[in-house]
Amino acid sequence: MFSIFRRKKSGQGVESTTLRPIEQSGLDPLESRLKRTRSSLSHLFDLLNQATQIDEVLIEEIETTLLMADMGVTATERIISQLKNAVDQRIIEHPDQLLPAVQAELYALIEPAEQFLSIDRDKKPFVILMVGVNGVGKTTTIGKLAKRYIDEGLSVMLAAGDTFRAAAVDQLKAWGEQNDVPVIAQASGADSAAVIYDAIHSATARGVDVLICDTAGRLHTQDHLMQELKKVARVMQKIDPSAPHETLLVVDAGTGQNALAQAKEFNAATSLTGLVVTKLDGTARGGVLFALASELNLPIRFIGVGESAKDLRPFDAGTFVHAILPVEEA
């Protein structure tokens, strides 16, 4: 289990990843985008790299460092208990084995969340509903997704389901214009479910491949607004009983453990099928992905690492772990 960090490559079973020390490799884009989280883990890196003996004090220090990096209690406890077991069973006997062991554990924790979103071409449109609290990056992520799918040759339509803020429709329209994508909107104050209903009708009539629906930001504690999301889903199902085909909760990594609380509440109130974790470029709290992965049985579909259209990446567990905690080449 604690052999050098290994990762899956699709269709090729399990194989070793090329592991490069940061000092020599130069920063690849993800590493540089995640540099704050990476530096929040640099103490862990030094601790593990410089350890001369494995004892209680060291294990405790590893635990504190993981907690401070926003990994959350569940993920941290899992890593620490695995480490302790491996030491007790003499699987780990030498301090050199610690760094690859921790990295392997981090990977094991987060790998189940790596499930890329595939668009079912039999659904026309494939409906994606975006939800989340205010300001987390829902509308921006819609713009980035629209660009991604257009680039993949799919036809896309956007639904301006955020009828709360007057500026929200304009913001979505700006993304639509940039990508030459139609946006279905009504005057602000209109019923969100009605806008989305119209959009599904229109997308179906035009044979659109992907319809992405924006919604207003809402606090997970506002019950009536959570109920509104259920109404949106019900109204969609009048046209297509299988819609929405993907309900993505967007969370801002910078909110740390609060992102976990949001995800738990939204997941209880709506049928989430995936997460998007944004703003990883501006925060040291990227460890929250481990908390999300270990406490929720939900795929992390995408990560946001900047404000522009290209800054949305499908979540790849191996690349992520490698970017925040590198191990020297074996």
Residues in contact with Mg ion by CB under 5 A are 138-139
> How far is 324 from 186, CA to CA, in rounded Å?
43
38 or 279: whose CB is closer to Mg ion? 279
281 binds, among Mg ion, ligand GTP, none (CB under 5 to 8 A by kind): ligand GTP
Question: Are 145 and 312 in contact, with CB atoms under 8 Å apart?
Answer: yes
Which residue's CB comes closest to Mg ion?
A: 139
Which one, 97 or 139, has the nearer CB to Mg ion? Answer: 139
How near is the Cβ of 276 to Mg ion at its closest, in Å?
13
Look at residues 276, 154, 286, 279 and name the one whose alpha carbon lies nearest to residue 207: 154
Least distance CB 215 / ligand GTP (angstroms)? 8
The one of ligand GTP, Mg ion, none whose footprint includes residue 72, by CB under 5 to 8 A per kind, is: none
CB of 217 to ligand GTP, least distance (A): 2
Closest to ligand GTP by CB, 100 or 244: 244
The residue among 5 and 302 lying less far from ligand GTP, judged by its C-beta, is 302
Q: Which is nearer to ligand GTP, 7 or 313 (CB)?
A: 313
Shortest Å distance, C-beta 157 to ligand GTP:
18
Integer Cα distance of 235 and 194 in angstroms: 8
Integer distance in angstroms from the first to the last C-alpha of the chain?
16
Query: Which partner in Mg ion, ligand GTP, none is near 279 (CB below 5 to 8 A by kind)?
Result: ligand GTP
Closest residue to ligand GTP, judged by C-beta, is 217
Q: Note the residues at the interface with ligand GTP (CB under 6 A).
A: 132, 134-140, 162, 168, 217, 278-279, 281-282, 304-307, 311
Virtual CA dihedral for 308, 310, 315, 320, nearest 10 degrees?
-80
Q: How far is the CB of 321 from Mg ion (least distance, A)?
A: 31
- Yes or no: say if 172 and 89 are a contact pair by the CB < 8 Å rule: no
SS3 164: coil
Which of ligand GTP, Mg ion, none is residue 135 near (CB under 5 to 8 Å by kind)? Answer: ligand GTP
What is the closest distance, in whole angstroms, from the C-beta atom of residue 308 to ligand GTP in the complex?
Answer: 9
Tokens read off for 54: 């494995």
**Which structure tokens are listed for 149?**
């799918």
Q: Between residues 217 and 256, which has the closer beta carbon with respect to ligand GTP?
A: 217
Question: Which listed option, ligand GTP, Mg ion, none, makes contact with residue 244 (CB within 5 to 8 Å by class)?
Answer: none
CB-wise, 106 or 277, nearer to Mg ion? Answer: 277
163 backbone φψ class: left, alpha, beta (φ>0; ψ -120 to 50): alpha
Q: What are phi and psi of 257, to 5 degrees?
A: -65, -20
CB of 46 to Mg ion, least distance (A): 40
Contacted by 278, from ligand GTP, Mg ion, none: CB < 5 to 8 Å by type: ligand GTP
Rounded Cα–Cα distance for residues 254 and 86 (Å): 33
Length of the chain: 330
Q: Do residues 141 and 276 lie in contact, with contact meaning Cβ atoms separated by under 8 Å? A: yes
Q: Are 288 and 257 in contact (CB under 8 A)?
A: yes
* 243-188-149 Cα angle (round to 5): 40
